[in-house]
Amino acid sequence: MKAIADEGAGRGVNGKVRDYNFSMGLEQLEIILEQRCLLSRAQPLVVGFSGGADSTCLLLALLELGYPVIAAHFNHHLRESAAHDAQKAAELAQAAGAVFWLGEADVGRMAREQSLSIEEGARKARYTFLFECARKAGAQAVAVGHHADDQVETVLMNFMRGAGPDGLAGMAYRVVLPEWDETIPVVRPLLAAWRSEIEAFCSERGVEPVEDPTNRDVIYTRNRVRWDLLPFLEKLNPSAREAIWRTADILQADNADLEEADEAAWKEANIISGEGLVVLDWPVLAGFSLGRQRRIIRRALKKLRPGLKDIDYAAIERAVGFLRQPTRSRTMDLIAGIELRLEGSQLILCTAESVLPDSGLRLPAGEAARPLSVPGEVALEGGAYLRSAWRDPGTGSARPASELEAWFDGDALQLPLLVRTRLPGDRLQPFGMGGQSQKLSDLMVNEKIAARLRGRWPLVCTQDQIVWVPGVRRSQCAQVTAKSKRILHLWIEADQSCKASSG
């Protein structure tokens, strides 16, 4: 099978022969399309088609291999030649026998209105268009022309910014980007082909791609890496590009194993993962290694802000530090409007728009107090009930099965009972503290009841004291003994069909 580039294969930007042969033929490309991009010929592909050498090579190669493609060109209106470039792209696509779709937007104005850089605005507008095309066409993927030189530049940019294994692995052959679509992937079939090979491929077919003059404008970081940094590195090591490319390829394989283990860890730690909200099991997460903690926190942040690119080291370390030693308020503003909250054993990552989980016990809104007869019940939020019943002597215990029930000597309590919310100055004599009194506010803090829940937490009281804080602690008073003749049983019941009964 003829290589993508015979002339120039394995040569660098300066034309020197590389000491590692990365020359790739259509046969090798077909293997990449099937095994790494996971593509078939049964569904169309949308090709992001600028008309430049990269996308032209990709389009022509896919057509030669029999893939149904749509060439989707986006006019950003950033250059005077933009309309001419769009016309040239249309002619190239149509000459190759591909369907051509055109989109456009004033990216400069959009970037100003949304406070984005030109590069960010252009990418946002372009990918929005490409995925609209993919959904319209029922395409299996959006294919883009990123190649080996792009991969090397990306790895270096990530390294300079500070990155872990994911960043140093560079771009993947196939990846789903949730900010654009939850199911349609981006594929990059040319990641093993060098720019020189791509240009030779187009030249061999007599095609003159569109030239983008901004590719040499060193105002852009990528271009400074391309024209300044990489030539310098090649003076130190003539095979620097290949070495960096190989490192990324090795890390991609290693990351696949990490991701498998991380997926199992995510399932173990994740309690809720919805729109604007991630709830993690704090003790489970705290038991993971530092590296896994970082990756799970990063994953949670990406779920909350899919388009967020700069999740920096400092933000992840603040989150890890909070995990180990929470702030006194048990909250922290982290990054991009995301807040950390620790409520009981739950680590909550949320935004200002999030609807927080309905955890804990609460009296309905607007109700400060309700009488509790025996037998009887008081309705709580979320379908739960606080219920009461008389039991025969000997059936109660001073040490119930959980904090969701309590047993009392009925003759030692001053009835009637009242279920109310907290009042200023409330105190409790917690069971097991030798009759010592404690502020209710301190008890709630010590028991890690979230501040947002404390104001409506139900308290079972007699006329002069709190006898039970459901789900937390009972009072020292009215303990059941062998001499008790009437046993009062209090419990929380979530099943609405269950009615309290007398003993």
Binding residues: 50-55
Q: Dihedral of CA 308/309/315/316: which sign?
A: positive
Distance between CA atoms of residues 457 and 421, nearest Å: 6
* Distance, C-alpha 214 to centroid of its chain: 33
Pairing of strands 369-372, 346-350: unpaired
Omega of the bond leading into 416 within 30 degrees of 0 (cis): yes
Angle at 49 between CA 44 and CA 50, to 5 degrees: 175
Instruction: List CB contacts of 32: < 8 A, sequence separation 6 or more.
Output: 173, 189, 191, 192
Distance between CA atoms of residues 370 and 315, nearest Å: 46
Q: Would you give the DSSP letter of residue 184?
A: P
Q: In the chain, what is the straight-line distance between the N-terminal and C-terminal CA atoms, in Å? A: 88
Q: Are 413 and 488 in contact (CB under 8 A)?
A: yes
Q: Dihedral of CA 152/158/163/165: which sign?
A: negative
Task: Provide the 10 A C-beta neighbour count for residue 412.
Answer: 14
Q: Are 140 and 39 in contact (CB under 8 A)?
A: yes
> Residue 336 — left, alpha, or beta (φ > 0 → left; ψ -120 to 50 → alpha)?
left
Element (H, E) at 388: strand 385-391
Element (H, E) at 192: none
The structure tokens listed for 105 are 């937007």
Distance between CA atoms of residues 37 and 409, nearest Å: 70
* Distance, C-alpha 394 to centroid of its chain: 53
Which residues sit in the known binding site for ATP?
50-55
